[in-house]
Chain A
């Protein structure tokens, strides 16, 4: 929306040409200038510039919806609002399961079962809707090389023996889990940026990133100067793209995180503050 070219914002042709002479071609450039600067570059009077500002704003402002419309839209399709984890007490606490359309973060010390949980959710997402699944493909971004395809088949065969009664069905399920191994922050970010087309072409219904913390902690040492800013930059960029994908396609996005000990005042263990699911990452 921000990179929308001004000529699509319904400004006149000559105005667009005049602005492009000052290198103002997108709505973002236009809105970042103050009123006086705008008067200078457009050569218009104060009131005209205000009208232009309104026109450009209308071109990139979001659409309004009332909370009531949002609720109606959700209630039209109640089953698609959550992916049930099939653990009843967990589903109860989560109000239905992993919610579609937002980011969910799973944190624990090593060995507690985060990757296993992710693998199980991948199986669940490929199940048909009648069995509580999402009937779609899964994108699994693995940064620790911890994903095991054999384990995937084992979980599927043992958990749902009646559904996966033939090898054919198991192979079909495993074909819809797309695994990407990315080992650096840069690759992870590039992969996240390219997901939009994959989601549409492969009919993806679940995105899992296992785990964000390991790449970030490998590459950014917060004790070095400048690294903290770069790290939070990377995390917030990734977070905003993932939030956009989750909301746009109404699919759940699962991220795993690690635990670290906070050595400052205050008791014991705190989750590693590499938390893109929330607002920001604080330092350790």
Chain B
């Protein structure tokens, strides 16, 4: 209640008038009332009422925060966070080596960035994830929907159909091997049409449309509360040409990063971005580094770099707060993203399934 007038989110002109009239704290404003306020600073009664409503809302928010409620500050202990993280699902990628180095898969509430040269498999992984996020919980998935924001136009529906069909078949095999009732029931809703209807696709042609779409994301996600994955395929593409003002670019990118962090946290969804590689010309040699500059590197929590080694595709975990840096090989088959060769029989102790992938975790086996 002792909050200063200058910190309230009112229109700047109004604030200037209040300061000129000598008002200092929010309590003074509330005590004066709308009629008194309108007479003192010369605004209409309706405007004064609106301003007071804003002030009251702000003060209630403050009070809730100081009382320890779940206001904007989100205070909690590390133990609560640990319990939250352990019960949280991961979005598997169907490549067990990649899931392992990521610590289980793509994490919810975190931003993961995938960098790589053209043609190495970034969009393939994004499409795979858009299908994998929809795997029902009894199979070890998070049973969510996906938003796919495409800036390069490399989304091919036919490819998603192939990947989704392979995923559905894999789940059918598991259900047959396990012979459990709830698995079979979950499979009734996990069909090709359902998977495709729950991938929401936006095609942004330049950075303005991308900015607009990201501003509208929170509203979209509150309407579609089951969304657990937001993919932005090609965050670098719209920002790389026609930008003479680099400081504007940095500012817009930082704003985007903040918006995405808010989206990831508020809606408990994973955000996956793909980035391009650019050459940095050093003194004696040139190296390939992720595009968009050093400051963008802080935006993502987890960074994966995909690259070639002769004809083998490799993925390197470049930045992660909880896993160590390592490199694995992966394969892109007609079914999607897969391991290079089936892991040895001793690894997978469960199951008679034919697909060379580690058995997805069920609730009991997780810890």
Write 17 A-B pairs (CB below 8 A) sorted by A numbering.
A27-B208, A34-B255, A43-B11, A54-B216, A57-B213, A57-B216, A58-B216, A59-B212, A62-B209, A62-B213, A67-B196, A70-B201, A71-B158, A232-B241, A233-B242, A280-B240, A282-B288
**B211, A64: Cβ atoms closer than 8 Å:** no
Residues of A within 8 A of B201 (CB): 64-67, 70
Shortest distance in angstroms between B209's beta carbon and chain A's nearest beta carbon?
A: 5
- Given A278-B118, A282-B117; A62-B204 close (CB under 8 Å): yes
**B236, A61: Cβ atoms closer than 8 Å:** no
Most buried by A among B197, B207, B241, B252: B241
17 additional contacts (CB under 8 A) given A68-B197, A279-B237: A27-B212, A47-B54, A48-B11, A54-B215, A56-B212, A57-B212, A57-B216, A58-B212, A61-B216, A64-B202, A67-B199, A232-B240, A240-B206, A280-B118, A280-B240, A280-B278, A283-B279
Query: Is A28's CB within 8 Å of the partner chain B?
Result: yes
- Given A233-B241, A236-B241; A39-B12 close (CB under 8 Å): yes
Shortest distance in angstroms between B171's beta carbon and chain A's nearest beta carbon?
A: 18
Q: When A and B form their complex, which 5 residue pairs have the shortest distance between CB atoms, in order from nearest?
A: A278-B118, A46-B9, A2-B208, A68-B196, A57-B212
Q: Which of A16-51 contact B (CB under 8 A)?
A: 27-28, 31-32, 34, 39-40, 43-48
**B288, A31: Cβ atoms closer than 8 Å:** no
Query: Is B79's CB within 8 Å of the partner chain A?
Result: no
> Nearest CB to that of B204 among chain A residues?
A62
**A71, B157: Cβ atoms closer than 8 Å:** yes
Please tell me which one of the listed residues B51, B154, B215, B277 contacts residue A31 in the complex, with CB atoms under 8 A apart: B215
Residues of B within 8 A of A27 (CB): 208, 212
- Given A57-B213, A244-B205, A282-B279; A71-B11 close (CB under 8 Å): no
Please tell me which one of the listed residues A28, A40, A61, A282 contacts residue B277 in the complex, with CB atoms under 8 A apart: A282
Cα of A64 to Cα of B281 in the assembled complex, Å: 40
Residues of B within 8 A of A64 (CB): 200-202, 220
Please tell me which one of the listed residues A1, A44, A68, A95 contacts residue B205 in the complex, with CB atoms under 8 A apart: A1
Q: Taking beta carbons and an 8 Å cutoff, which residues of A are in contact with B?
A: 1-2, 27-28, 31-32, 34, 39-40, 43-48, 53-54, 56-68, 70-71, 74, 95, 102, 232-233, 236-237, 240, 243-244, 246-247, 264, 267, 275, 278-280, 282-283
Shortest distance in angstroms between B167's beta carbon and chain A's nearest beta carbon?
A: 14
Q: Taking beta carbons and an 8 Å cutoff, which residues of B are in contact with A?
A: 9-14, 51, 54, 117-119, 130, 148, 152-154, 157-158, 160-161, 193, 195-209, 211-213, 215-216, 219-220, 234, 236-237, 240-242, 248, 251-252, 255, 276-279, 281, 285-286, 288, 291, 310
> Nearest CB to that of A96 among chain B residues?
B158
**A275, B118: Cβ atoms closer than 8 Å:** yes
Please tell me which one of the listed residues B51, B158, B241 contacts residue A240 in the complex, with CB atoms under 8 A apart: B241
- Given A279-B276, A282-B279; A71-B205 close (CB under 8 Å): no
Please tell me which one of the listed residues B119, B242, B281 contacts residue A278 in the complex, with CB atoms under 8 A apart: B119
Shortest distance in angstroms between B195's beta carbon and chain A's nearest beta carbon?
A: 8
Residues of B within 8 A of A2 (CB): 206-209
Cα of A190 to Cα of B201 in the assembled complex, Å: 31
Cα of A232 to Cα of B204 in the assembled complex, Å: 20
**A70, B157: Cβ atoms closer than 8 Å:** yes
Residues of B within 8 A of A243 (CB): 152-153
**B9, A45: Cβ atoms closer than 8 Å:** yes
**A61, B202: Cβ atoms closer than 8 Å:** yes
> Nearest CB to that of A234 among chain B residues?
B241
Cα of A44 to Cα of B50 in the assembled complex, Å: 12
Cα of A40 to Cα of B15 in the assembled complex, Å: 11
Cα of A65 to Cα of B157 in the assembled complex, Å: 12
Shortest distance in angstroms between B121's beta carbon and chain A's nearest beta carbon?
A: 12
